[in-house]
Structure 1
Amino acid sequence: MRKDPIELKWLFLGSLITNTGISFIWPLTTIYMHEYLHEPLTTAGIVLLINSVFTVIGNYIGGWLFDHWRPYETILLGITIAAASAGVLIFWHGWPIYAVLLIILGLGNGIVVTCVNSIATMIKSHQPSYVFNVLYFTSNLGLVFGSLIVGFILPLGISYIFATAFGLFIIFWVVALLTFRQLNQAKQAIRRARVDTDRAEQTREKWPIYLLLLTLFVAWIGYEQWQSNISAYMLHLGMSVRSYSFLWTVNAVLIVTLQPLLTHFDGYLSQHLRGRLYTGFAFVCSAFLILIYANHYAWFVIAMAVLTVGEVIAFPAVSTFVNERAALQEKGKYQGLVTMAASAGRAVGPLVGALIIESISYPLLFVFCALLILVAVLIFAASGRKQKPTPTPRRLGQ
């Protein structure tokens, strides 16, 4: 068994740091642009959309550079871009420089996220599913930490928010500089092993990966409704902003509670990977079916709980499934596609939801999301049945 290129604790720490740093900045974008910079909400929405597009571009660049250049320098490049953007924001955060720097930050963050997932594919001391489970946990824990801390820092001034994020990125840069040095050597060892593995990997079908990525994309379109349009729906029903915010507390508590439990049963879940994906996406789909009839707050809490169970089960398993089917030389590329699918879903989700709401109604938006996810899952499931007559020895989790 080849030695890990880095210790897992440093990879998990990096994921925690970068997600905490990002959560200081992006949730404040709409509030800051509208309340402090006095820009219209549509302008804030356009900025967020462009930011998401550049995050997708960063995902692609990060995956390509990881495979074709040097992993060590690639992740340092991504952290440097993110840190530099946050550092400049400390001193210049007016309009339009704020929007420009936020977009550049999205590019750097896209590179970093893809690199972190790509490095996870190089870990040999643990099952890939275990590593991706913990990475999903640390990324969400970072978002929880950032969301909690930002409320205490913001009253001091917006510059302190950017300074804190800059400090976190610098810490990650130092951690990566000192502990990620063996990545290039590990990547070269993989390249030397290409002769023995390329023939088998070239015959492995890749279209199930793309069908799963499509499912992830549409799931994120639905998931984004919770972060955008559902808040307005709850206010329309007479519920408070505080009640809506509590839903995300439920989300965070369930993720922190359930993720370690799933990690404990990692061996069983790895052997039933497709079943895990079907179950998780079924929960996500069911959350929208509950919303169709939700007219009391308790139903929104139940729907959020069902949604969270689904995302904890399904979302980390996507990276595991893709990793098992990607060639050694293309791990970065396909992990980049995973993050691109999620980023693209986040980018178009609010717009798709708004168009349906304005044209029809909220309940039909929920029906649309449920059907979209259901159809995508059924198509992906059909790919599994077609593969059964001619399985390959290295295909797992089916």
Structure 2
Amino acid sequence: MRQGFKDVPRVVWLLSAGVFVNAVVSFTFVFVFLWLTGPRGLGAPEAGLVTGIGGIGLVAGNFTGGWYGDRFGHRRVLLAAAVVTGLLLALLPTLPTAALYLALPAAQYAAGVIRAANSALVAVTVPDGARRQAFAVVRCASNAGFTVGPPLGALVAVGLSYDWLFVADGLGTLFFALWTARVVPARGASRPAEAPDGGRGRGGVWRELRARPAVPVLLAAVLVTDVVYRQQYSTFPVYLQDHGLDVSAFGLIVALNGAVILLLELPAAVALRDRPPLPVIGTGLLLVAAGYAVLPAGPGAAAAVAMMVLLSLGEILYKTTATAYVADQAPEHAAGRFQSLYAGVSVSGTVLAAPLGGTLYAAAPGLLWPVCALLAAGAGAAVLLAGRTPGTGPTRPAHETGSRPRAVAG
């Protein structure tokens, strides 16, 4: 397997080490609701409103982070966003409740910018043929950190206080900024690549998308699938409780997701690196559909475990491959914007999944999982069909699709 990662630049491995450390201490998104309803004394509706607004900030940051990078440089934007996020997170425990309505969304917005800028930075640093492996390395580091982080965060919250979770998260994000500044050289152009017309492509990203018809299909499919995929964090635990499985069972089932990804994602990236991307992505979406399709077959632990294994396998196939595909399709002057579009749709479920799924589950519990399966299956079929449509391969000029990585701007 090591041979399959020989084209992944050293800087990506170093950047992934920073991603791992930052992910370990990224407690905020896990414990913020408990913090608001516990030490801060908010009721569940107000805490839900605060976290919901924060989720909107996260999605907005993902959608815009790459646009900033295309204009100011991806490295520079990542560093600035990491500093802002770190400072805001560390200060959150000291702020009055009213200020949280602004501070938490601002911190989440900056965190979304970090995610988009980090993806764009990898995209412009890695040669086309190695992007799937590179994104798999970064995702594996992030998932490993998130596997370690929540249990550690629980110990900190119980042994010290919830406030220390935010301080640790803030310091970890500031460390990530310092680490990135050290390991990612500020080499290359001092400004991003220009569009062919001599400008910076402002307003031209839609023209670029129309020239690559499979990309909008993929983005729409990922948007739909993310709403379905993230039901595992909202309606799925409620479904388990309604069928006699407690929170500890949910925790073990979710932990299975991380275990499968850590075990199989890197080998899968190597084994499938030469396969056409759209069929791989489409198959992954169909596996997500299959995961939700097994739930109505027999409510209980066995069906829940089968569902999580299928979801994890689908995630392995579609998430890394889709990220790399969007990077490969992006014109050089719009690499960040393409990554921002993908990053934004890939987390839209954090805002949409709970209200949409919760409403349907409350109205017709038996319909939720079949609807989820049909939506993900439709998304997978659309991507598979796009993969069979002529003209869905790389559309950049030959000199842009060679084996040399692009310069890191900023």
Q: Normalized against structure 2, the TM-score is what? A: 0.86
**Offset of residue 240 of structure 1:** 1.2
Aligned AA (1:330): A
> Relative to structure 1, is the Cα distance of residues 220 and 252 closer, same or farther in structure 2, using a 3 angstrom cutoff?
same
Residue in 2 aligned with 1:111? 113
Q: CA deviation at 1:226?
A: 0.6
Aligned in 2, Cα 1:178/1:393: closer, same or farther, shift over 3 Å? closer
CA shift, 1:56, in A, is 2.0
For residues 167 and 189 of structure 1, do their structure 2 counterparts lie closer, same or farther at Cα, with a shift above 3 Å needed? closer
1:34 aligns with 2:37: yes
Deviation at 1:140, TM superposition (A): 1.2
1:90, CA displacement in angstroms?
4.3
Question: The residue matched to 2:78 in structure 1 has which SS?
Answer: helix
Select which of 255, 264, 271 maps to 2:275.
271
User: What is aligned with 1:209?
Assistant: 215
Alignment partner, residue 142 of structure 2 = 139
2:59 maps to which of 56, 60, 64: 56
Q: For the Cα contact (< 8 Å) 1:278–1:377, is it kept in 2?
A: yes
Q: CA contact under 8 A between 2:257 and 2:308: conserved in structure 1?
A: yes
Q: C-alpha displacement at 1:39, in angstroms?
A: 2.1
Task: Count the aligned residue pairs.
Answer: 384
Deviations 1:122-148 (A, max 9, x none): 224661111111111112112112112
Tell me which residue corresponds to 2:408. Answer: none
Q: Per the alignment, do residues 10 and 190 of structure 1 end up closer, same or farther by CA in structure 2, a change over 3 Å counting?
A: farther
SS of structure 2 residue aligned to 1:243 = helix
Contact 2:60–2:112 (CA under 8 A) maintained in structure 1: yes
**Counterpart-to-counterpart distance in 1, 2:283 and 2:313:** 10
- Say yes or no: does 1:20 pair with 2:24: yes
Q: Structure 1 CA distance, aligned partners of 2:396 and 2:185?
A: 34
Alignment map for 1:119-268 (pairs within 5 Å): 119-124=121-126, 127-155=130-158, 156-182=160-186, 185-186=188-189, 188=191, 190-191=193-194, 205-265=211-271, 268=272
Deviates more, 1:12-21 or 1:143-152: 12-21
CA contact (8 A) 1:204 1:325 kept: no
Q: Contact between 1:6 and 1:179, CA under 8 Å: does it hold in 2?
A: no
Distance 2:75 2:279 in 1: 35
Out of 300, 304, 315, the position equivalent to 2:304 is 300
SS in 2 for 1:284: helix
Q: Secondary structure at the match of 1:206?
A: coil
Amino acid aligned to 1:7: V
Structure 1 unaligned spans of 5+? none
In structure 2, what residue type is equivalent to 1:85? L
**Contact 1:215–1:376 at 8 Å: present in 2 too?**
yes
Q: Which of 45, 67, 71 is matched with 2:70 structurally?
A: 67
Identity among equivalent positions (%) equals 18
RMSD between aligned alpha carbons?
A: 2.8
The CA deviation at 1:320 is 1.1
CA contact (8 A) 2:283 2:380 kept: no
Residues 271-290 of structure 1 mapped to structure 2, 5 A cutoff:
271-290=275-294
CA contact (8 A) 2:92 2:100 kept: yes
What secondary structure does 2:25 align onto?
Answer: helix
In the alignment, which residue of structure 1 is the partner of 2:48?
45
The secondary structure found in structure 2 opposite 1:386 is coil
1:357 maps to which residue? 361
Which structure features the higher share of helix residues? 1
> Are the equivalent residues in 2 in contact too, given 1:5–1:186 (CA < 8 A)?
no
1:328-349: CA deviation from partner (whole Å, max 9, x where unpaired): 1111001001110022122100
Aligned residue identity for 1:18? N
Q: Is the 8 A contact 1:129 1:270 kept in 2?
A: no
Q: CA deviation at 1:194?
A: 8.8
Contact kept? 1:194, 1:329, Cα under 8 Å: no
Which of 358, 369, 372 does residue 372 from structure 2 map onto?
369
Q: Deviations over 1:162-208 (max 9, x none)?
A: 1211221121121122233425x25758549998xx9xx96982231
> Any idea what the Cα deviations from partners look like across 1:39-61, whole Å, max 9, x if unmatched?
23222222222112111221233
Contact 1:49 1:348 in 2 (8 A): no
Cα shift at 1:388: 5.5
In the other structure, the counterpart of 2:331 is: 327
Structure 1: distance between partners of 2:126 and 2:196: 15
Deviation at residue 260 of structure 1 after TM alignment:
2.2
TM-score by length of 1: 0.88
- Structure 2 gaps of 5+ residues are 1-6, 202-206, 402-410
Sort the Cα spacing of 1:312 and 1:147 in 2 relative to 1 into closer, same or farther, 3 A. Answer: same
Structure 1 residues 263, 180: CA separation in 2 closer, same or farther (over 3 Å shift)?
Answer: same
Pair 1:83 & 2:86 matched: yes
> Deviation at 1:154?
0.7
2:345 to 341, 348, 372: 341
